């Protein structure tokens, strides 16, 4: 068990809808990262937060947004959903912003857009 | 584009054999990490090797890094059926540590 909790585990929704994915990092970890995993694109880095502030941005669409709250949990909001957004969304956490720290992944949220 | 590219894409071996997976990357890195993913689950960190290190061991795992060739290898010795999983290399090329760039992985199947 990595200590990172993601909810929900599965989400099925229709095109055009909006969903919110939630993540609780490992106790004591200040950094949260979001990744998208699909068969054709592999694992893509979306965004990173450190202690409530955005630290790095990857291939995140404008329809997607995220935030990290004072209690360090994070939410990833996906809006105007398209079929191509169907994927596994992972949250990961680490102890700080320094390099040489491994990421601890949750078990993901499987999003299916119909 | 993906920073790391694993080779082979798939590998099937018998229990007890060694498994070797390779990773090539394109630009200078700070460190390279290997992760394992069981089907449909989250990734699990296996080992991290810094750019100034050449070899690292952890149990049955051995990782090498050749920065001149921009490549790394992961060796799993005496493989077990429980090692069946996908293995990913991830490179930290700079910027925020969160900018780990993952390859598409090697799917390892260990037959009992």
Question: Cα separation of A23 and A66, whole Å?
Answer: 11
For residue A20, the distance in angstroms to the closest alpha carbon of chain B comes to 19
Are A99 and B31 within 8 A, CB to CB? yes
Are B31 and A104 within 8 A, CB to CB? no
Question: pLDDT tens digit string along B29-76?
Answer: 888 999 999 988 999 999 999 999 999 999 999 999 999 999 999 999
Q: Is residue A112's pLDDT more than 60?
A: yes
CA nearest to A22, candidates A12, A32, A31 = A32
Q: With contact defined as beta carbons under 8 Å apart, do A108 and B107 qualify?
A: no
- Please state the rounded mean pLDDT for residues B95-112: 83
For B98, the closest of A42, A56, A100 (CB atoms) is: A56
Q: Could you tell me what percent of chain A has a pLDDT over 70? A: 96
Residue A97: what pLDDT? 60
Residue A56: what pLDDT? 87
Q: With contact defined as beta carbons under 8 Å apart, do B63 and B73 qualify?
A: yes
Report phi then psi at A61, rounded to 5. Answer: -70, 155
**Cα angle at A93 between A87 and A99, to 5 degrees?**
115
Among A11-20, A65-74, B5-14, the minimum mean pLDDT is found in B5-14
Residue A109: what pLDDT? 98
CA nearest to B83, candidates B14, B4, B9, B8 = B14
Q: Is residue A35's pLDDT more than 70?
A: yes
Residues with Cβ within 8 Å of B52's Cβ and at least 6 positions away in sequence, in order, are: none
Question: Taking CB atoms and an 8 Å cut-off, how many pairs form between chains A and B?
Answer: 73
Residue B2: what pLDDT? 47
Q: With contact defined as beta carbons under 8 Å apart, do A61 and A47 qualify?
A: no
Q: Is residue B1's pLDDT more than 50?
A: no
Q: Is residue A100's pLDDT more than 80?
A: no
Are B97 and A99 within 8 A, CB to CB? yes
**For residue A64, what is the enclosing H or E element?**
strand A64-68
**For residue A23, what is the enclosing H or E element?**
strand A19-24
């Amino acid at each position: 068990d990595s200590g990172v909790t993601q909810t929900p585990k599965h989400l099925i929704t229709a095109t055009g809808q909006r969903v919110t994915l939630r993540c609780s990092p490992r106790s004591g970890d200040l950094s949260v990262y979001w990744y998208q995993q699909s068969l054709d694109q592999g694992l893509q880095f979306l965004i990173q937060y450190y202690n409530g502030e955005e630290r790095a941005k990857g291939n995140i669409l404008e329809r997607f947004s995220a935030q990290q709250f004072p209690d360090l949990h994070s939410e990833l909001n996906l809006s105007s959903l398209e079929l191509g957004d169907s994927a596994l969304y992972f949250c990961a956490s680490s102890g700080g912003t320094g390099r040489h720290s491994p990421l601890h992944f949750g078990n993901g949220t499987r999003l299916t857009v119909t | 584009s993906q920073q790391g590219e694993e080779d082979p894409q798939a590998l099937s071996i018998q229990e007890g054999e060694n498994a070797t997976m390779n990773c090539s990357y394109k630009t200078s890195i700070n460190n390279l990490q290997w992760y394992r993913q069981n089907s449909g689950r989250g990734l699990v960190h296996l080992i991290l090797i810094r750019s100034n290190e050449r070899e690292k061991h952890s149990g049955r795992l051995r990782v090498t890094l050749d920065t001149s060739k921009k490549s790394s290898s992961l060796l799993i010795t005496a493989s077990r059926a429980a090692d069946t999983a996908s293995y990913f290399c991830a490179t930290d090329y700079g910027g925020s540590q969160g900018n780990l760039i993952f390859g598409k992985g090697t799917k390892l199947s260990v037959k009992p």
